[in-house]
Chain A
């Protein structure tokens, strides 16, 4: 107990020292004019909060569960009614207090399962099994996604978020082939996404192609790029491959910014045509040779129709990509990828041509990214290099890994979490990215294998086969 207290003080002291220069001193806009402002109080309060939190954790470890539970609950509730210097400190105090109480409760529940009513445990296990059986969950989600646009609470905003989440699901499933199946780390996936988006934008602008006719061309461009980049690069060891892909992503973005005569540089390309359904267009007035959709259906024109159409287009793409990804895992090449991922040397001694299967994974990933990119361009009607930064690659990679490498439904849930959640909390815009970063660290520390971790290879040698470390 004493040791815990001492440690808490040390942690608080460390936090104070760390916070002091960055939080304790606020420098004005122009440092030369010496607009200095000290914020001792805020820093001291933050350090005190950390002290209390750490002490609470120490008390938990010492077994004082009821005390911590009551204190956490009281502190969290009390913090709601005190005036704090900043809103952030209040949020931290309230969340910290309740988190401690919750943790105490969870530990207590773990230690005293007998105290629960006889009915509760089987109910919980059933619910847990149902929910963790991701295939059942996936089926429910899928049914919901299909009917969502027609449900009463659906709105244009919700549809937009849905489209965005599904775009990321497609991207993450695509990246999953390289990262999840073949175990190669790709840090420049946004490069292919950009190639798809700009490929369609430029084909539409210079060749006058529509979305559906440009789609296969864009896919071919991405595959050829991946081939040209992959042939030399895939000889490299895993981590060097990661660096080169990182460089590729950056180069693509820099070229898009700087090749102004073709791409209009940072201003981007606007006026990208929207997709049509055969000869039906989703606009008030159709162009020559086309018909407006609302006229054909005999209803009033509404912009929501187009959003709904886009929603179903990306749903269709997602279903096809999902099907391909699930089937790929069971094909010989899927087994070869997993063999490669689990043990490179053993894989080579089985006579598997490693560069070739690596290239196949990389090209397939690139193709899917390009398709998602073309969809992104047609949905936005506008592309600019800003949309394809390293953050984009990192977000997609985070989805794949949070989702539990290789698990399609887990990845879909992770996409919902990573893309959907910040979208819903747009009100807290300031702290959105801060929470995003912290959330990534916390989830990784809490569940290093991702939300739905399945690393079990499809093909295995009997029950006695051991997983390689």
Chain B
């Protein structure tokens, strides 16, 4: 089984997974950057995104829309908009009243929100796994070995890479070159000062949540198409790994989140292939601990300055 080809194939699979983790991780890292809170409900937002993808896809096909690109575009848009609204509402209900309440209260509120959302989806849509028939089939063969092993990239994987790349560039541009991005970065540095300069701090925070939710929703959309299964519990592990990715890359850093996501995806995929599949999650967490020991602020994180 071994060989360069096999390794390459696993690398491609791992990078696909990593792109998804990276997109979810951006939501964690931005929210942490701006209000210093671990948004535990973020994994659940991703789960809701995946569910809305399945449901809107089924509804569209049921009412007889057949053109696949059109269906996918509408599904993506619906998922992004509704999940973004979920992100906004969650922030408004569970976190905004706790802006000045210290570090622990919003965290517990977030854990409560996460439990609530899981059970909300479970009650409304059932506890069983939902499956979606493969949507975008077909692969491109990269290399062909004598013994018949083929290294390939599926169209879906290409879609995921392209979409992730586009989104990453868009978010980077948004944060670095728009009024919202400026406001957001200002709030990240000093909220009081930003408010004194006339920046609407609450709006910047709300929009950060919406942005994170939209990215998580698109990650949910991609995962649903890629694996074809969703269940109400899927947000937990994905969220945890994405958060690990954000910390690994250096929390607060956008490229760091993506890099962390890719590393975790690849490590998970390679570990499952070459070592053993059961301990792949253990490997991810051990890697995180090791990195933090060598670089306490993550791979691309800035060292924090302690203010008196």
> Which A residues fall within an 8 A CB radius of B?
14, 17-18, 20-23, 25-27, 29-32, 34, 36, 88, 179, 185, 232-233, 235-237, 239-240, 242-244, 246-248, 250-251, 254-255, 257-258, 344-345, 390-391, 394, 397-398, 401-402, 405, 430-431, 433-434, 436-441, 444-445, 448-449
Contact of B102 (CB < 8 Å), options: A236, A344, A394, A448: A448
Chosen A-B contacts, 10 in total, with CB atoms closer than 8 Å, are: A233-B292, A243-B244, A247-B244, A247-B289, A251-B282, A254-B278, A397-B108, A397-B111, A438-B112, A439-B112
Query: Can you name 4 extra interface pairs (CB under 8 A) apart from A18-B89, A185-B103, A239-B36?
Result: A243-B288, A244-B292, A436-B115, A440-B113
Q: With a CB–CB cut-off of 8 A, which chain A residues contact B62? A: 34, 36
Q: Is B251 an interface residue (CB 8 A)?
A: yes
Q: With a CB–CB cut-off of 8 A, which chain B residues contact A444? A: 94, 98, 101, 105-106, 108-109, 112
The closest CB in chain B to the CB of A438 belongs to B116
Contact of A17 (CB < 8 Å), options: B82, B121, B123, B279: B82
Contacts A32-B131, A185-B107: A445 and B116 contacting too (C-beta < 8 A)?
no
Is A437 touching B132 in the complex (CB atoms < 8 A)? no
- Separation of A185 and B106 alpha carbons in the complex (Å): 13
Chain B nearest Cβ from A223, distance in angstroms: 20
Chain A nearest Cβ from B58, distance in angstroms: 5
- Separation of A29 and B240 alpha carbons in the complex (Å): 27
Per-residue contact bits, chain B 272-300, to A (CB 8 Å; 1 contact, 0 not): 00000011011001101100110010000
Is B243 touching A22 in the complex (CB atoms < 8 A)? no
Please, how many residues of chain B have a CB less than 8 angstroms from a CB on the other chain? 71
- Separation of A444 and B101 alpha carbons in the complex (Å): 9
Contact stretch, chosen from B46-54, B152-160, B167-175, B200-208: B46-54
Q: With a CB–CB cut-off of 8 A, which chain A residues contact B21? A: none
Is A441 touching B113 in the complex (CB atoms < 8 A)? yes
Contacts A22-B55, A345-B306, A434-B119: A247 and B285 contacting too (C-beta < 8 A)?
yes
Contact of B56 (CB < 8 Å), options: A21, A251, A434: A21
Of A27, A235, A242, A251, chain B has the most CB atoms within 10 Å of the CB of: A27
Is A31 touching B38 in the complex (CB atoms < 8 A)? no
Chain A nearest Cβ from B263, distance in angstroms: 15
- Separation of A16 and B146 alpha carbons in the complex (Å): 58
- Separation of A405 and B240 alpha carbons in the complex (Å): 25
- Separation of A17 and B293 alpha carbons in the complex (Å): 46
- Separation of A60 and B254 alpha carbons in the complex (Å): 44
Q: Which residues from 109 to 158 on chain B have a C-beta closer than 8 Å to any C-beta of chain A?
A: 109, 111-121, 123-126, 128, 130-133
Contact of B296 (CB < 8 Å), options: A20, A32, A235: A235
Is A22 touching B94 in the complex (CB atoms < 8 A)? no
Is B55 touching A25 in the complex (CB atoms < 8 A)? yes
Is B97 touching A445 in the complex (CB atoms < 8 A)? yes
- Separation of A436 and B139 alpha carbons in the complex (Å): 46
Is B111 touching A344 in the complex (CB atoms < 8 A)? no
Is A401 touching B130 in the complex (CB atoms < 8 A)? no
Chain A nearest Cβ from B243, distance in angstroms: 7
The closest CB in chain B to the CB of A32 belongs to B133
The closest CB in chain B to the CB of A431 belongs to B123
Q: Is B247 an interface residue (CB 8 A)?
A: yes
Contacts A244-B288, A445-B94: A344 and B82 contacting too (C-beta < 8 A)?
no
Is A250 touching B98 in the complex (CB atoms < 8 A)? no
Is B278 touching A22 in the complex (CB atoms < 8 A)? no
Q: With a CB–CB cut-off of 8 A, which chain B residues contact A185? A: 103-104, 107
Contact of A21 (CB < 8 Å), options: B55, B61, B112: B55
Q: Is B93 an interface residue (CB 8 A)?
A: yes
- Separation of A216 and B116 alpha carbons in the complex (Å): 39
Is A23 touching B111 in the complex (CB atoms < 8 A)? no
Q: With a CB–CB cut-off of 8 A, which chain A residues contact B56? A: 21
- Separation of A351 and B104 alpha carbons in the complex (Å): 27
Q: Is B196 an interface residue (CB 8 A)?
A: no
Is B86 touching A18 in the complex (CB atoms < 8 A)? yes
Is B105 touching A251 in the complex (CB atoms < 8 A)? no
Contact of B104 (CB < 8 Å), options: A248, A344, A405, A441: A405
The closest CB in chain A to the CB of B130 belongs to A31
The closest CB in chain B to the CB of A34 belongs to B62
Contacts A448-B101, A448-B105: A437 and B59 contacting too (C-beta < 8 A)?
no
Q: Is B236 an interface residue (CB 8 A)?
A: yes
Q: With a CB–CB cut-off of 8 A, which chain A residues contact B247? A: 240, 243
Is B111 touching A258 in the complex (CB atoms < 8 A)? no
Contact of A437 (CB < 8 Å), options: B116, B124, B288: B116
Contact of B94 (CB < 8 Å), options: A402, A436, A441: A441
- Separation of A445 and B281 alpha carbons in the complex (Å): 34
Is B292 touching A240 in the complex (CB atoms < 8 A)? yes
- Separation of A34 and B281 alpha carbons in the complex (Å): 35
Q: With a CB–CB cut-off of 8 A, which chain B residues contact A20? A: 82
Is B58 touching A34 in the complex (CB atoms < 8 A)? yes
Chain A nearest Cβ from B129, distance in angstroms: 9
The closest CB in chain B to the CB of A447 belongs to B105
- Separation of A179 and B133 alpha carbons in the complex (Å): 47
Of B111, B124, B306, chain A has the most CB atoms within 10 Å of the CB of: B111
Is B108 touching A402 in the complex (CB atoms < 8 A)? yes
- Separation of A450 and B230 alpha carbons in the complex (Å): 36
Contact of B112 (CB < 8 Å), options: A23, A244, A398, A448: A398
Q: Is B4 an interface residue (CB 8 A)?
A: no
Is B85 touching A434 in the complex (CB atoms < 8 A)? no
Contacts A27-B55, A251-B285: A437 and B119 contacting too (C-beta < 8 A)?
yes
The closest CB in chain A to the CB of B289 belongs to A244
Q: With a CB–CB cut-off of 8 A, which chain B residues contact A34? A: 58, 61-62
Is B58 touching A441 in the complex (CB atoms < 8 A)? no
Q: With a CB–CB cut-off of 8 A, which chain B residues contact A23? A: 124
Top 3 nearest A-B pairs by Cβ distance? Answer: A440-B112, A437-B116, A437-B115
Q: Is B304 an interface residue (CB 8 A)?
A: yes
Q: Is B177 an interface residue (CB 8 A)?
A: no
Contact of B85 (CB < 8 Å), options: A17, A240, A437, A440: A17
Chain B nearest Cβ from A32, distance in angstroms: 5
Q: With a CB–CB cut-off of 8 A, which chain A residues contact B112? A: 398, 436-441, 444
Is B243 touching A237 in the complex (CB atoms < 8 A)? no
- Separation of A37 and B78 alpha carbons in the complex (Å): 19
Q: With a CB–CB cut-off of 8 A, which chain B residues contact A345? A: 306, 308
Q: With a CB–CB cut-off of 8 A, which chain A residues contact B93? A: 441, 445
- Separation of A236 and B102 alpha carbons in the complex (Å): 20
Chain B nearest Cβ from A312, distance in angstroms: 32
- Separation of A32 and B108 alpha carbons in the complex (Å): 38
- Separation of A440 and B124 alpha carbons in the complex (Å): 21
Chain B nearest Cβ from A229, distance in angstroms: 9
Q: With a CB–CB cut-off of 8 A, which chain B residues contact A21? A: 51-52, 55-56, 78, 82
Chain B nearest Cβ from A450, distance in angstroms: 8
Contact of B131 (CB < 8 Å), options: A30, A239, A243: A30
